[in-house]
């Protein structure tokens, strides 16, 4: 009661709101990474992403914003993107999870023992979680793998590495990955420093620091049809009192992804999220480029995320993610409109592509009018739309040429019938017989100069 007399109710309300904001800002999905040897795109505006908060870092370069495809909040003093995007598809395993009181970070119960395979269906992937007795069947010893020096002795650093095959990630073919010390791969060719936000493959994203252990190292090896990255004997920077972590991810040519956990000294739920996000799963996004107040702006829209239930992950667990066939893999109209993939696949004759409008080519799909022109019915009709457009251009060119030829012919006819007019006088002076006489009066001779032989032409007709 004494406190109530000293402080007004309004002040207490504002203080409570301020404290809630501080709690909510305690967890961020945006952690800055250094990508060694690469020129990074600057990010100066970072907006809301799902339920997490982002902070503005720089204000001197072109804009790149990161958003959830479901919501486009407009912070004070910023300009809202004009592009509307479909809602993100976020899927998780059926085992229950709980949210922190702030409504932000998702926490899980300690690992749940299980002895059978747990399967789950996601929109773009089908997942299997295998119990520890299968780990030896999937773990690959990296005896002659490459030990990357930069990755094996750094903190919050990433390095791009080429692969010898095309790997399909959400239906997009890529041949390079960016390996991060924080236990994940960044999959997009568009490099910036906020790698933890989206477009990742994360066997165990966390605040790992490879400078803490004498035997800490990050290994990788390309088997031409399989690419393996291993985080070996690594420690959490803010929880380095534990034994080291050892886990690897395997990428297969057909798009299959495996996470294998050989050593997990801590339950995933006990890994600190305050200074680095902790994730197991996948994420993808597309970009929309625009110009706002004379500045280039790139907005990143996350359209899908696979979140594996961390309560099912313990030492020895194997997670397999099988890709589903997507619209952007269908190369002709007949396949696009007849295949039943579970997506709203449509064919757009303007770009000769099959899509549901949600992939890396979203901007081209939108700018070419495919959001309204694309369809999934008659292919002849869909492709004829493109042919009709091309035929229209040809007809327009022919009409212009005919008008030009007709105009020239009409002028010649007028000049011929009216020799006293200026057109008629010009035509008589430049008729073929007169031009022939002028050419006959021209004289040619050689002239030697200091720079070599030149030819000069003089016409007596101009005398």
pLDDT digits (tens, 9 = 90+) for 175-233: 999 999 999 999 998 888 889 999 999 999 999 999 999 999 999 999 999 999 999 99
- As given in the structure block, the two tokens for residue 31 are 């952690």
Residue 429: pLDDT band with limits 50, 70, 90 = confident
Provide CB contacts within 8 A for 299, sequence distance 6+: 64, 65, 66, 67, 81, 83, 287, 288, 289, 290
Alpha-carbon distance of 289 to 300, in angstroms, equals 9
The CB density around residue 186, as the number of other CB atoms within 10 Å, is 26
Alpha-carbon distance of 284 to 306, in angstroms, equals 9
| Region 69-87 average pLDDT | 37
Distances (CA, A) of 429 to 22, 122, 422, 442: 89, 82, 11, 17
Residues shown for the chain: 463
Residue 389: pLDDT band with limits 50, 70, 90 = low
- As given in the structure block, the two tokens for residue 208 are 């790992």
Alpha-carbon distance of 52 to 164, in angstroms, equals 37
The pLDDT tens digits for 291-300 are: 888 888 888 8
pLDDT at 404 over 60: yes
Q: Which of 130, 147, 53 is nearest to 308 (CA)?
A: 130
Alpha-carbon distance of 325 to 328, in angstroms, equals 9
The pLDDT tens digits for 303-319 are: 999 999 999 999 999 99
Alpha-carbon distance of 14 to 9, in angstroms, equals 9
Alpha-carbon distance of 219 to 250, in angstroms, equals 12
The residue with tokens 């619209």 is: 327
User: Does the global pTM surpass 0.75?
Assistant: no
Q: 330-353: b or e for each residue (b if 16 or more CB lie within 10 Å)? A: beebeebbeeeeebebbbbbbbeb
pLDDT at 3 over 50: no
Of 114-118, 162-166, 239-243, 435-439, minimum mean pLDDT range: 435-439
More confident residue, 23 or 284: 284
pLDDT on residue 428: 74
């Amino acid at each position: 009661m004494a406190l109530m007399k000293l402080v007004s109710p309004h002040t207490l309300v504002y203080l409570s709101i301020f404290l809630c904001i501080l709690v909510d800002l305690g967890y961020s999905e945006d952690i800055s990474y250094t990508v060694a040897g690469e020129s990074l795109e600057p990010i100066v505006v970072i907006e809301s992403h799902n339920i997490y908060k982002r902070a503005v870092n720089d204000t001197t370069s072109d804009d790149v914003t990161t958003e959830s495809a479901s919501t486009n909040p407009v912070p004070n003093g910023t300009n809202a993107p004009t592009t509307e995007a479909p809602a993100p598809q976020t899927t998780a395993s059926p085992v229950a999870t709980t949210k922190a009181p702030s409504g932000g970070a998702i926490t899980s119960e300690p690992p749940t023992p299980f002895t059978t395979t747990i399967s789950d269906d996601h929109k773009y992937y089908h997942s299997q979680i295998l119990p520890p007795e299968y780990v030896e069947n999937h773990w690959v010893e990296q005896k002659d793998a490459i030990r990357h020096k930069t990755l094996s002795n750094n903190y919050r650093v990433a390095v791009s590495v080429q692969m010898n095959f095309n790997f399909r990630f959400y239906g997009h073919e890529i041949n390079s990955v960016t390996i991060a010390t924080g236990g994940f791969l960044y999959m997009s060719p568009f490099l910036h420093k906020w790698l933890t936000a989206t477009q990742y493959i994360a066997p165990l994203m966390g605040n790992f620091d490879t400078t803490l252990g004498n035997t800490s190292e990050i290994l990788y090896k390309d088997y031409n049809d399989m690419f393996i990255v291993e985080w070996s004997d690594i420690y959490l920077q803010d929880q380095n009192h534990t034994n080291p972590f050892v886990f690897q991810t395997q990428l297969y040519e057909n798009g299959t992804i495996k996470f294998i956990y050989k050593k997990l000294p801590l339950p995933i739920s006990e890994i600190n999220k305050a200074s680095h996000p902790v994730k197991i799963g996948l994420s993808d996004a597309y970009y929309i480029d625009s110009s706002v107040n004379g500045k280039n702006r790139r907005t990143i829209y996350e359209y899908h995320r696979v979140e594996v239930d961390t309560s099912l992950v313990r030492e020895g667990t194997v997670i397999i993610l099988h890709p589903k066939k997507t619209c952007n893999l269908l190369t002709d109209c007949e396949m696009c409109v007849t295949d039943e993939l579970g997506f709203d696949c449509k064919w757009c004759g303007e770009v000769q592509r099959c899509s549901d409008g949600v992939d890396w080519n979203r901007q081209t799909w939108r700018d070419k009018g495919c959001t309204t022109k694309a369809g999934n019915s008659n292919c002849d009709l869909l492709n004829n739309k493109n042919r009709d457009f091309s035929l229209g251009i040809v007809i327009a060119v022919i009409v212009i040429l005919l008008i030009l030829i007709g105009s020239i012919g009409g002028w010649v006819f007028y000049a011929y019938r009216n020799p006293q007019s200026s057109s008629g006088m010009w035509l008589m002076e430049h008729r073929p017989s007169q031009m022939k006489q002028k050419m006959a009066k021209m004289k040619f001779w050689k002239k030697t100069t200091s720079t070599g032989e030149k030819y000069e032409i003089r016409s007596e007709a101009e005398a």
